[in-house]
Chain A
């Protein structure tokens, strides 16, 4: 996919009159701690996980809470969300700690990471503050549920390779947040206790001399990934860097003693731990490839896409499909009022002419998907078994090892909805498990 030129200077838009901040995330949901009518300050905590695991949610503008209601979310579903109307006045944003009282103990630093509201674009089973903590720092209550957290972390991978073609948020961080990254590395190393720290970048990437020197000084090894989707997804990344296979399903990097951190999140760590800046902004790429529109926006978390489009010039014209979170792994939106949050990562606009639609065709066994599958599955057979309701057979053929990267759909000559069928099979199997 041609992504054209992307400016490294993100546009800043005027502060929005309203924001909507979702409370439900793929890892779970958090509870609102404010009520309708409450005034909020910028940076104030508005929602918190009752189990204390998921990161807090912070208000991104000062104003008044006007609703806690379901709203479209960038994950393609409706999610309970807090709506805040701006009061116009900026006010002093809340800080996580007072000047000169930066936390020194690692326990406190972890707590701060969780409170700051940093969320990563990749969907990891556990938030950053849990994954990055070495066993000694992990709350012991988690061990019975996640035995893998007992395992020491021996390799820390900062993932600076973009998740999918066309989405450039990580290479953007790599080039524009170099100092923040370097400042965050010592904290991440100390928290994880990893003996090896790796920055994974795409093979085509050129890094600045001073940045490379800084990485060497910080003891970070540079590993280049094949410039080929889906090399940067967690299971393949870990395999490429360490040679270890993550057991699927149910495994994650911690199962093999590795922790992967998204680079943009790593770049925020120093800001949180040194300056007490809570996370209130989202970096979002807006792209309409067929109209040569590619922009990075820095917006207040929860700004609605609809409001952004009004201020954007040039704005994408005639959208026929709007995709959040990228062309391979994302979700098509049914409503332009979707909020832009950190995990939105990128919004793609497709015109009627760019639409690639699936077709109801039988598989022709051409084997393209078998050649392409990074997990060495036989998607042709899996998709048929899911289509005809033979779910147990599909499970026997490693259905649950599918990581839904979408490369099989991408190459399929008859345009079968492969990922859709796999997800269907997985959900049917899980549903029948629950019934039992």
Chain B
């Protein structure tokens, strides 16, 4: 018998077939309903912004990897997901160059300068958003009224973005029907309004095992409980916790941004603490901060704490408990 050339390698000799591309494909599928909801409520300009962000992110990554002489991995789709997510947290009324600037910053500063895929300390989407928010805040406070497509009634009762009501018109928060908040029939960013679509995408990610439930549940539950305490004390000056949870970035961030791997802890105790931290900081910034939305800043702060939270680990199986 002829001796064949045999491959020799370390165990294991089988693989699940998972890849970065498959992870990102799952994210794209999960983001699809959110994008559809955004286009449904805010029209074609919403699609324009998201596509612009996505294209910029992908081209920037391609350019970066070519220039830096790295292996070109742009086809793994991670830049595409970053771009789309950034588009979803922008208003559809922002100028085109702002979207481009945000996506460029997200990929270059947020992702590559700080370590590359999975090794950057801060969520690139939030980094990109923070850059444009801080630099061009005047352009960032313009939100469209949902467009009465397909015979939907406009959310005419609410001219302002609904989180502004927290500081300016507290009474308004009790008028807004929760169903409108839930289906996204309110002014807001492209992807954050429709909680229903966000939940659909999030459940898909959970079912596919791409995220675990710990961070989203800890995030939303702690924010709700925190808001409930103040609402119980003084319902006149503090909004109902459910209003808080259903409005703004809360759901999108809890499922898609706070769970970003590499910027969030991987152990269960760390994940729970991280989620609780995100929830509490969000509510503190929303209630007493100068910014309308507290979620992105809460995530950035908790991202910074992640290496610390990852020191809190479950005891390894078989580790002897040392008795002092």
Chain A residues with a Cβ closer than 8 Å to the other chain, count: 68
Q: Does A1 sit within 8 A of B, measured CB to CB?
A: yes
- Report Cα–Cα, A220/B8, bound state, in Å: 42
- In the complex, per-residue mask of A394-426: 1 if CB is within 8 Å of any chain B CB, else 0: 000010010010110111111101011001000
Question: Do A336 and B13 touch (CB < 8 A)?
Answer: no
Contact partner of A367 (CB less than 8 A), chosen from B3, B7, B266, is: B266
Given A332-B6, A370-B266, A419-B10, also A410-B15 (CB < 8 A):
yes
Q: Does A318 sit within 8 A of B, measured CB to CB?
A: yes
- Report Cα–Cα, A280/B18, bound state, in Å: 43
Query: Which applies to chain A's interface (DSSP): helix, strand, loop or mixed?
Result: loop
In the complex formed, the residue of B with least CB distance to A415 is: B15
Given A309-B1, A366-B118, A376-B317, also A371-B6 (CB < 8 A):
no
Q: Does A172 sit within 8 A of B, measured CB to CB?
A: no
Q: Does A328 sit within 8 A of B, measured CB to CB?
A: yes
Residues of chain A contacted by B95 (CB below 8 angstroms): none
Q: Does A137 sit within 8 A of B, measured CB to CB?
A: no
Question: Do A366 and B23 touch (CB < 8 A)?
Answer: yes
- In the complex, per-residue mask of B209-244: 1 if CB is within 8 Å of any chain A CB, else 0: 100100000000000000000000000000000000
Question: Do B9 and A357 touch (CB < 8 A)?
Answer: yes
Question: Do A413 and B19 touch (CB < 8 A)?
Answer: yes
In the complex formed, the residue of A with least CB distance to B263 is: A365
Q: Does A160 sit within 8 A of B, measured CB to CB?
A: no
Residues of chain B contacted by A411 (CB below 8 angstroms): 16, 18
Question: Do B266 and A365 touch (CB < 8 A)?
Answer: yes
In the complex formed, the residue of B with least CB distance to A310 is: B1
B117 to chain A, nearest CB (A): 5
Query: Which applies to chain B's interface (DSSP): helix, strand, loop or mixed?
Result: loop
Question: Do B316 and A377 touch (CB < 8 A)?
Answer: yes
Given A336-B4, A367-B261, also A406-B316 (CB < 8 A):
no
Contact partner of A376 (CB less than 8 A), chosen from B117, B262, B315, is: B315
Question: Do B316 and A375 touch (CB < 8 A)?
Answer: yes
Q: Does B14 sit within 8 A of A, measured CB to CB?
A: yes
Residues of chain A contacted by B3 (CB below 8 angstroms): 335-336
Of A245, A401, A407, A419, most buried by chain B (CB within 10 Å of CB) is A245
- Report Cα–Cα, A332/B1, bound state, in Å: 19
Q: Does A362 sit within 8 A of B, measured CB to CB?
A: yes
- In the complex, per-residue mask of A304-346: 1 if CB is within 8 Å of any chain B CB, else 0: 0010011000000011111100011111111110000000000
Pick out which of these stretches binds chain B: A268-276, A291-299, A348-356.
Answer: A348-356
Given A336-B3, A336-B4, also A323-B13 (CB < 8 A):
yes
Question: Do B14 and A410 touch (CB < 8 A)?
Answer: yes
- Report Cα–Cα, A342/B130, bound state, in Å: 63
Question: Do B7 and A332 touch (CB < 8 A)?
Answer: yes
Q: Does B177 sit within 8 A of A, measured CB to CB?
A: no
Q: Tell me the B103-117 residues at the A interface (CB within 8 Å).
A: 116-117
Q: Does B153 sit within 8 A of A, measured CB to CB?
A: no
Contact partner of A320 (CB less than 8 A), chosen from B7, B116, B313, B319, is: B7
Q: Does A235 sit within 8 A of B, measured CB to CB?
A: yes
Residues of chain B contacted by A195 (CB below 8 angstroms): none
Given A328-B12, A365-B118, A365-B262, also A355-B7 (CB < 8 A):
yes
Q: Tell me the B136-180 residues at the A interface (CB within 8 Å).
A: none
Question: Do B316 and A409 touch (CB < 8 A)?
Answer: no
- Report Cα–Cα, A235/B316, bound state, in Å: 12
B214 to chain A, nearest CB (A): 11
Residues of chain A contacted by B314 (CB below 8 angstroms): 376
- Report Cα–Cα, A318/B15, bound state, in Å: 21
- In the complex, per-residue mask of A113-129: 1 if CB is within 8 Å of any chain B CB, else 0: 00000000000000000
Question: Do A409 and B261 touch (CB < 8 A)?
Answer: no
Question: Do A409 and B15 touch (CB < 8 A)?
Answer: yes
Residues of chain A contacted by B209 (CB below 8 angstroms): 368, 371
Q: Tell me the B293-324 residues at the A interface (CB within 8 Å).
A: 310, 313-320
Question: Do B1 and A320 touch (CB < 8 A)?
Answer: no
Question: Do B266 and A348 touch (CB < 8 A)?
Answer: no
Question: Do B8 and A332 touch (CB < 8 A)?
Answer: yes
Q: Does B20 sit within 8 A of A, measured CB to CB?
A: yes
Contact partner of A239 (CB less than 8 A), chosen from B212, B313, B317, is: B317
- Report Cα–Cα, A280/B125, bound state, in Å: 65
Question: Do B6 and A320 touch (CB < 8 A)?
Answer: yes
A350 to chain B, nearest CB (A): 7
Question: Do B318 and A423 touch (CB < 8 A)?
Answer: no
Contact partner of A334 (CB less than 8 A), chosen from B1, B8, B313, is: B8
- Report Cα–Cα, A361/B10, bound state, in Å: 16
- Report Cα–Cα, A318/B12, bound state, in Å: 21
Pick out which of these stretches binds chain B: A83-91, A140-148, A180-188, A246-254.
Answer: A246-254
A305 to chain B, nearest CB (A): 10
Contact partner of A375 (CB less than 8 A), chosen from B13, B14, B119, B317, is: B317
Q: Does A93 sit within 8 A of B, measured CB to CB?
A: no
Residues of chain B contacted by A236 (CB below 8 angstroms): 317
Question: Do B4 and A319 touch (CB < 8 A)?
Answer: yes
- In the complex, per-residue mask of A206-240: 1 if CB is within 8 Å of any chain B CB, else 0: 00000000000000000000000000000110010
Contact partner of B267 (CB less than 8 A), chosen from A235, A246, A370, is: A370
Q: Does B22 sit within 8 A of A, measured CB to CB?
A: yes
B199 to chain A, nearest CB (A): 22
Q: Does A391 sit within 8 A of B, measured CB to CB?
A: no
Question: Do A251 and B318 touch (CB < 8 A)?
Answer: yes
A60 to chain B, nearest CB (A): 22
- In the complex, per-residue mask of B25-64: 1 if CB is within 8 Å of any chain A CB, else 0: 0000000000000000000000000000000000000000
Residues of chain B contacted by A333 (CB below 8 angstroms): 6, 8
Contact partner of A330 (CB less than 8 A), chosen from B11, B18, B267, B318, is: B11
- Report Cα–Cα, A249/B319, bound state, in Å: 8
Contact partner of B13 (CB less than 8 A), chosen from A235, A330, A377, is: A330
What are 26 A-B contacts with C-beta separation under 8 Å? A236-B317, A239-B317, A245-B317, A246-B318, A248-B319, A318-B4, A320-B5, A320-B7, A321-B8, A329-B12, A336-B4, A356-B14, A358-B9, A358-B10, A362-B117, A368-B209, A370-B266, A375-B316, A377-B316, A378-B310, A378-B313, A406-B11, A407-B12, A412-B15, A415-B19, A423-B10
Interface residues of chain B, those whose CB is within 8 Å of chain A, are 1, 3-16, 18-20, 22-23, 116-119, 209, 212, 261-262, 266-267, 310, 313-320
Known contacts A247-B320, A248-B317, A310-B1; 14 additional CB pairs below 8 A are: A246-B318, A332-B9, A332-B10, A348-B13, A364-B118, A364-B261, A365-B119, A371-B212, A376-B314, A378-B266, A380-B266, A401-B316, A413-B19, A419-B12
